[in-house]
Amino acid sequence: MPDVINITNAKQIGDYQIFLRFDDESEQVINFKPFLSRSRHPAIREWLDLAKFSTFRLEYGELVWGDYDLCFPIADLYRNELEHFHDLKLCA
């Protein structure tokens, strides 16, 4: 993985699946539903509302929801490794 990586494209391709393209031209399809479903944190579980989940955007090369209410480290998105965040509020 490069030292600095940004997301250049994000497109929802399924209910909770987002296609991501990174600035090194690598790509991932991330299924966020397992992470959202397993979390016990109510602020994270709110994003199971599909209409709310669909409001993600790219900001400064990062994938974010709301006012940074939900976001993930780019390195974890790049590797498609979200499972170790189950009970954390990811962004303050």
Domain containing 29 — which CATH number? 3.30.2020.10
Number of structural domains in the chain: 1
**Torsion sign over Cα 54, 28, 78, 36:** positive
pLDDT digits (tens, 9 = 90+) for 30-83: 999 999 999 899 999 999 999 999 999 999 999 999 999 999 999 999 999 986
Q: What is the pLDDT of residue 4?
A: 86
| Residue 90 counted as domain residue | no
Q: What is the pLDDT of residue 85?
A: 53
Listed residue (47, 79, 77, 42) closest to 65, CA to CA: 47
| Residue 92 counted as domain residue | no
Measure the CA dihedral 31/61/75/80, to 10°: 20
- Structural domain including 41 reads 7-85
